[in-house]
Amino acid sequence: MRNYNALASLGGLVVSLTLLAVTAGCGGGGGGGSVQPRGSTVTGAVLDAATRAPIPNATVTVGTSSAVTDSNGGYTATNVPTGSQELRAAASGYLRFPADAAPTFFVTVVPGTTTLDDLLLVPATQPPPPPL
């Protein structure tokens, strides 16, 4: 198990993410052939940056895979390619992550399941909170 920490600035708001990488075997028993890696799964939650309330129906994109959050703000993106993947999130009434002017944000996806800490979106109607 490995932890990766990252910070991203979003309109003055500093967003901290901790990537917890859990590596699982690709399966396959003997047979002498090589095992082809399968797509990985990325899970996490999207929350309101001001209230920490879950944001349902947000779209989270990891690389070429995307998922929509449930009523608890949770998402599961499947068949995500391993390696460095771009992370994006958007929801009605919220600024996108990362913001248009912000640099692209990447996460490292490992075989198996990669779980991200909460992703915080800033309400579009409020100024962003001061940096931490």
CA–CA dist 132, 129 (Å, integer): 9
101-127 pLDDT tens trace: 666 788 899 898 888 888 889 888 766
**pLDDT of the residue at 118:** 87
For the chain, helix (H) and strand (E) counts, in that order, are 0, 10
Q: How many domains does the chain have?
A: 1
Kindly report the CATH number assigned to the domain that includes residue 61.
Answer: 2.60.40.1120
Q: Is residue 67 part of a domain?
A: yes
Strand, helix or coil for residue 46: strand
Sites in the chain below the pLDDT cut of 50: 1-37
Q: Answer yes or no: is 59 within a domain.
A: yes
Q: Which domain holds residue 89?
A: 2-21+40-121
The whole-model pTM stands at 0.66
Within a domain: 100: yes
Residues in the chain: 132
In a domain, 114, yes or no: yes
pLDDT given for residue 8 in this prediction: 41
